[in-house]
């Protein structure tokens, strides 16, 4: 059994993917070829925003927006303590200071109440200027964007939604990657919409920001003269080959993949809800199930269960085994465990089960049965 069955997906879409790849090979337009612009248009339409600017990966996408906003030394960028490193690292790389926010244990997403506490604390210390909030749509569920936007408005801050895992999710019909002033996603192969290598994108309704991003992803070049650079940018483009692959995959995502992962999640929850803490999806929210993550009683039980599953050829993963505030790179930042109680508990108790659109009911049954037995041990 595989954790995320990318081979099953390829075989389901093989003829179309092979055809798309061949078209690119025949065109030789490997850099910013036609499929890139076509995909950007399709993605913007799907998400429901004016602009999609694709780039090299989801980390660059975050960094490009922060660069466009001029974020740097002395600026505080607030993000979740329980996420992939890039959500915080993108700020650090520009010299800004990440301020980490504890999570809500039910959703694993940034706790809006703790966000406001940390903003007030930062203002009180008077060393950093609160500039940006990066809420993360962890495991596929959109963060509490409405509450977070209210806080951003109150303190005059910008919001950058990290939708790397959230693509496809919704809050009351509004799609992930459409919240805040800008949003980003990643097309890393294991994400809800993945390509066959690295890729990423920024989404925004702001015309000026979209134009700036197009320049910054091409070294900061001027729109009038390609040999004049008006700003210092980076080189970060989505390959035409990846765009061509993503067009096929986006179609499958829209037609049935998102539906299938939601069915799979329902089947898991039905079987597991009396046995372990199953994922909580807030009312009005729909997840795109980047992960199906349960919680066990404690680290000991979690590790026993993971081992027992492994013996039955059932892969599982621990996302994430280490909080951001515990990263060695942040050892001198003065973060304290007691400010991150929920993240500390999540790190000890989470376990992600196989999840993808091609998972069959018999697999879910097998996993659930073995999980039940492992928990009883």
Does position 161 interact with ligand PLP (CB under 6 A)? The reply is no
- Residue (of 110, 115, 114) closest to 141 by Cα position: 110
Region of 12-20, 159-167, 175-183, 301-309 interacting with ligand PLP (CB under 6 A): 159-167
On the 0-12 / 13-18 / 19+ scale of CB atoms within 10 A, 107 is buried
Closer by beta carbon to ligand PLP, 233 or else 272: 233
Residue nearest to ligand PLP (CB): 58
Does position 186 interact with ligand PLP (CB under 6 A)? The reply is yes
Instruction: Return the residue of 44, 132, 136, 246 that touches ligand PLP, per CB under 6 A.
Output: 136
Instruction: Return the residue of 79, 83, 107, 368 that touches ligand PLP, per CB under 6 A.
Output: 83
Closer by beta carbon to ligand PLP, 83 or else 278: 83
Judging by DSSP bridges, how do beta strands 97-101 and 129-134 pair with one another? unpaired
- DSSP characters over 185-209: EE--TTSSS--SS--EEEEES-HHH
Does position 164 interact with ligand PLP (CB under 6 A)? The reply is yes
Instruction: Return the residue of 20, 54, 63, 87 that touches ligand PLP, per CB under 6 A.
Output: 87
CA distance 269 to 265: 6
181-204: b (≥16 Cβ within 10 Å) or e:
bbbbbbbbeebbbbbbebbbbbbb
Region of 157-165, 327-335, 350-358, 359-367 interacting with ligand PLP (CB under 6 A): 157-165
Q: Shortest approach of ligand PLP to residue 89 CB, angstroms?
A: 9
Closer by beta carbon to ligand PLP, 160 or else 374: 160
Does position 141 interact with ligand PLP (CB under 6 A)? The reply is no
Beta strands in the chain (DSSP E): 51-55, 75-80, 97-101, 129-134, 158-162, 170-171, 174-175, 182-186, 200-204, 285-286, 292-295, 350-353
- Residue (of 60, 59, 58, 55) closest to 243 by Cα position: 55
Q: Which residues pair with 221 in a beta bridge?
A: 229
Q: Shortest approach of ligand PLP to residue 200 CB, angstroms?
A: 5
Does position 84 interact with ligand PLP (CB under 6 A)? The reply is yes
Instruction: Return the residue of 58, 98, 112, 135 that touches ligand PLP, per CB under 6 A.
Output: 58
Using CA atoms, how far residue 161 sits from 180, 274, 349, 373, in Å, is 6, 33, 26, 39
Instruction: Return the residue of 109, 165, 204, 316 that touches ligand PLP, per CB under 6 A.
Output: 165
Does position 287 interact with ligand PLP (CB under 6 A)? The reply is no
Residues from 194 through 233 that contact ligand PLP (CB under 6 A): 198, 200
Judging by DSSP bridges, how do beta strands 158-162 and 182-186 pair with one another? parallel
Contact residues toward ligand PLP (CB under 6 A) are 57-59, 83-84, 86-87, 136, 162, 164-165, 186, 188, 198, 200
């Amino acid at each position: 059994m595989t954790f995320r069955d990318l081979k099953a997906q390829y075989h389901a879409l093989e003829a179309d993917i092979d055809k798309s790849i061949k078209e690119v090979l025949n065109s030789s337009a490997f850099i910013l070829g036609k499929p890139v612009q076509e995909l950007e248009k399709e993605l913007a339409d799907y998400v429901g925003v004016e602009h999609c600017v694709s780039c090299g990966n989801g980390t660059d996408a975050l960094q490009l927006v922060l660069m466009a906003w001029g974020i740097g030394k002395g600026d505080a960028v607030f993000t979740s303590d329980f996420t992939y490193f890039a959500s915080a690292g993108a700020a650090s790389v520009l010299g800004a200071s990440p301020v980490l926010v504890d999570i809500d244990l039910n959703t694993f997403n940034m706790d809006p109440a703790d966000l406001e506490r940390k903003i007030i604390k930062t203002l009180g210390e008077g060393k950093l200027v609160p500039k940006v909030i990066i809420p993360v749509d962890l495991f596929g569920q959109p963060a509490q964007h409405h509450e977070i936007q209210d806080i951003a408005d109150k303190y005059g801050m910008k919001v950058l939604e990290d939708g790397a895992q959230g693509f496809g999710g919704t809050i009351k019909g509004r799609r992930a990657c459409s919240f805040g002033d800008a949003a980003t996603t990643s097309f890393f192969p294991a994400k809800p919409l993945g390509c066959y290598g690295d890729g990423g994108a920024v989404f925004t309704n702001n015309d000026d920001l979209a134009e700036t991003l197009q320049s910054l992803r091409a070294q900061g070049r001027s729109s009038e003269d390609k040999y004049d650079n008006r700003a210092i940018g980076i080189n970060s483009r989505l390959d035409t080959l990846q765009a061509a692959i993503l067009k096929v995959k986006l179609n499958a995502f829209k037609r049935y993949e998102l539906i299938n992962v939601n069915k799979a999640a329902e089947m898991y929850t039905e079987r597991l809800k009396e046995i372990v803490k199953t994922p909580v999806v807030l009312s009005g929210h729909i997840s795109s199930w980047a992960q199906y993550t349960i919680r066990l009683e404690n680290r000991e039980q979690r590790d026993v269960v993971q081992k027992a599953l492994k013996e039955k050829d059932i892969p599982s993963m621990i996302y994430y085994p280490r909080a951001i505030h515990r990263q060695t790179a942040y050892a001198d930042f003065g973060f304290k465990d007691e400010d991150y109680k929920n993240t500390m508990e999540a790190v000890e108790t989470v376990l992600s089960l196989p999840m993808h659109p091609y998972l069959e009911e018999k697999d879910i049954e097998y996993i659930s049965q073995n999980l039940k037995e492992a928990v009883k041990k």
